[in-house]
Structure 1
């Protein structure tokens, strides 16, 4: 699948055909099913974020979300065109109808105004990774359990880590111990040098990046789960119908049943993908202990 620049343009004939269909109350769903219609092609945002999206040795984009959405759309008779965009710009483009799909989004009330949301493709919580020699109580399960211990935490600038982190950010002592950087890879290197004790990261991304950097012997995943809200696929309401999203969800469920979804997760995340990752197992165990299922 060819990646394009942020300033991509759709063929004029296709745009005019789409506008005519929208004027008649049709959308991607009806358009894809119209005999003789142009191919069903949706624009989808991507950015380097392994193992979800990344360039392989051949320069081609690949990754978990790339393969899952590619296969789901293939089964629906559609394709996607990749558009490389920063996250904030992608939200603007989706709202305006200039972008059709945005994987990896969290459901928020303000976004529901202009976007449909898929069901979760895969569950990967934000967890705490710590240096093997860091002063961490093995009984710790939440960020609040380490707040008063002197633990030096590394975080990315502009990233939200859930309600516990927001609450602790009101504590000046906690904030003073934070190391904030733009690059998560720089934080891994700081931890390897023992300048910080731990880093919060998406479980799948953290495991992947530590493997790439050769730091799995120095840095370990802990049982501290910071947040567990699942990431979804956003679809622009201006260009994609609710019926199309329902079909997308049905195809993902079909991929789950036939094993193809698990195969993609296993290829990038190892033998315990998605719902079976250590962090997800911790969430499941906590839910069982409290008499409730983990939040999806």
Structure 2
């Protein structure tokens, strides 16, 4: 009788443990091929990677739509558990545990080369006049070199902060901005899906390259849970599961090797 009760209790505890691991992931409205909303049915590379990671770690994943800057705030308030595409910094390490990386982010300047001054290196961007408008994502990090350059008093182009990735191509098409800073993988997506047809936009300059991670909130995720998530990520990598998902979306770009930062 005692063994039966013990076994039943253990089963209940395991069931409770599995269902008590709830991961709330903040997602911007539209960031192809990584985040593609469809009502309650989100799709995209980052979504699929997050789903298999949560399942392997014994967790349930809920996607909550939220602009990037707002998501960063919700993490610190304990209302979200994770984000994708998080660059590492010592400041962010105060709030985040970094699992992955899940993508090698390559930020490029995109625009019409027939309408814009030619660029060979990042420093030349400062010479553009104020008349040129460049859209950037509010709260995004584009590397220390760009941060220092854009803070200079003689920095030329006007930076236009927008709330989501969704608006960038529309802003270019409407002529409200002359160029955008965007991940190279999004440019590939636009090209592969025919969205660049009859458009003259091209990659003008590589601005920044850096691995990005799934960032888990230190306010809601324990160290033990972080280890469990990291071990799950490494198992999936060793089994080739992550690489298979990656190949369906971005066959041109390999998945970085695991290198978590706690």
Q: TM-score, normalised by structure 1?
A: 0.66
Identify which of 240, 246, 256 aligns with 2:237.
256
- C-alpha separation between the residues in 1 aligned to 2:73 and 2:166? 27
Higher strand proportion, which one? 2
Q: Which residue of 2 aligns with 1:82?
A: 63
Are positions 1:54 and 2:66 aligned together?
no
What aligned pairs does 1:192-211 form with structure 2 within 5 A after superposition? 198-209=179-190, 211=192
- Summarize the Cα distance change of 1:233–1:59 in structure 2 as closer, same or farther, 3 Å threshold: closer
Q: Which residue of 2 aligns with 1:294?
A: none
- What is the CA distance between 1:262 and its match in structure 2? 2.2
Q: Once the two structures are superposed, what CA deviation does each residue of 1:188-223 show, in whole Å capped at 9, x if it has no partner?
A: 35655778654321112233245556225522224x
Q: Which residue of 2 aligns with 1:273?
A: 253
- What is the CA distance between 1:258 and its match in structure 2? 2.9
Q: Which has the higher contact order (CA 8 A, sep 6+)?
A: 2
Q: Which moved more, 1:103-112 or 1:164-173?
A: 164-173
- What is the CA distance between 1:171 and its match in structure 2? 4.6
- C-alpha separation between the residues in 2 aligned to 1:189 and 1:155? 11
- Summarize the Cα distance change of 1:37–1:272 in structure 2 as closer, same or farther, 3 Å threshold: same
Q: Indicate conservation of the 8 Å contact 1:131/1:191, yes or no.
A: no
- C-alpha separation between the residues in 2 aligned to 1:169 and 1:90? 24
- What is the CA distance between 1:120 and its match in structure 2? 0.8
Q: Indicate conservation of the 8 Å contact 2:27/2:66, yes or no.
A: yes
- C-alpha separation between the residues in 1 aligned to 2:218 and 2:71? 14
Q: Once the two structures are superposed, what CA deviation does each residue of 1:3-38 show, in whole Å capped at 9, x if it has no partner?
A: xxxxxxxxxxxxxxxxxxxxxxxxxxxxxx943425
What aligned pairs does 1:219-238 form with structure 2 within 5 A after superposition? 219-222=201-204, 224-238=205-219
- What is the CA distance between 1:181 and its match in structure 2? 5.2
Q: TM-score, normalised by structure 2?
A: 0.74
- Summarize the Cα distance change of 1:153–1:76 in structure 2 as closer, same or farther, 3 Å threshold: same
Q: Give the aligned CA root-mean-square deviation in angstroms.
A: 3.3
Q: Which residue of 2 aligns with 1:96?
A: 77
- Summarize the Cα distance change of 1:268–1:41 in structure 2 as closer, same or farther, 3 Å threshold: same
Q: Which moved more, 1:182-191 or 1:80-89?
A: 182-191
- C-alpha separation between the residues in 2 aligned to 1:97 and 1:186? 28
- What is the CA distance between 1:68 and its match in structure 2? 0.3
Q: Which residue of 2 aligns with 1:155?
A: 135
Structure 1 unaligned residues grouped into runs of 5+: 1-32, 277-296
Structure 2 unaligned residues grouped into runs of 5+: 1-11, 257-262
